[in-house]
Structure 1
Amino acid sequence: MSKYLLDKFLFTVDRDPDLVERYREDPVGTVTWWEAEIANSLLNSHSGEDSTWLRFDEVERAALSTHDYVRLFELGAHPFLTLTLFIALFERDYAEPLAFQKEYAARLAHFNLPYPDIAT
């Protein structure tokens, strides 16, 4: 498991409106594409330098592919990265202000301190 890779996915998708829409409409395809094309590139690097070993495990891939932010939180994905991406994905589906954020909090309410470690 790589919390770094989970956070990198959340960070890079959230910063690109086209990727947000792609991930909303086709999460499985987006995760598969991102893992093959982006996962091993260096973050914020334009030099063409890449890694070769980073891959999601099956649990991570399943959580990302089903938009399971509770499972991502359990796995140690950074809660701010998770929240901001999922707001971009789903806030528009709610009529009330902050309704998605309230649902997010309610679905994570069973966690007690200390939260899962978010260090990478």
Structure 2
Amino acid sequence: MSRYLVDKFLFTVDRDPALVERYREDPVGTVAWWEAEEANRLLSCIADERSTWLAFDDAERAALAGHDYRALFALGAHPFLTLTLFIAMFERDHDEPLGFQREYAQRLADFSLPYPDIAT
């Protein structure tokens, strides 16, 4: 598992409103596109700098493509990155204040300490 790459996906998608919408509407296509085009782009100011070896494993790809934040949490994705992206995507689907945050907490309620390691 590359927690770095999953966290990088969550971070970069969350910072681009168009990508947030793309990921909401077409998660499979967005994950495939991002892995092919963006995964190896370095987080620097130099657009042409790239690595060549980063890729999601099958569990990561499935969790991201399925909007499965519970699986992402279990895999060690950073919970703040996961929560902020999924709030941007799904808070609008809830009528009550903090509706998605409550759903998120409820779906993760059976996790006990120690939580999955989020160190990268």
Cα distance in 1 between the residues matched to 2:33 and 2:18: 14
Tell me which residue corresponds to 2:83.
83
Amino acid at match of 1:36: A
Cα distance in 1 between the residues matched to 2:23 and 2:114: 30
Q: What TM-score does the superposition give when structure 2 sets the normalisation length?
A: 0.98
Tell me which residue corresponds to 2:93.
93
Tell me which residue corresponds to 1:39.
39
Cα distance in 2 between the residues matched to 1:94 and 1:103: 10
Deviation readout 1:39-83 (Å, 9 max, x if unpaired) = 000013324110000000000000000000000000000000000
Matched-pair identity in %: 77
Runs of 4+ in 1 over 6 A off after TM superposition: none
Tell me which residue corresponds to 1:4.
4
Deviation readout 1:73-120 (Å, 9 max, x if unpaired) = 000000000000000010000000001000000000001111100000
Amino acid at match of 1:22: R
> What residue ranges of structure 1 are gaps of 5+ in the alignment?
none
Tell me which residue corresponds to 1:22.
22
* Contact persistence 2:27–2:64 (CA under 8 A): yes
* Contact persistence 2:40–2:51 (CA under 8 A): yes
Amino acid at match of 2:75: L
Q: Aligned residue pairs: how many? A: 120
| Residues 1:118 and 2:118 are matched in the alignment | yes
Amino acid at match of 1:42: L
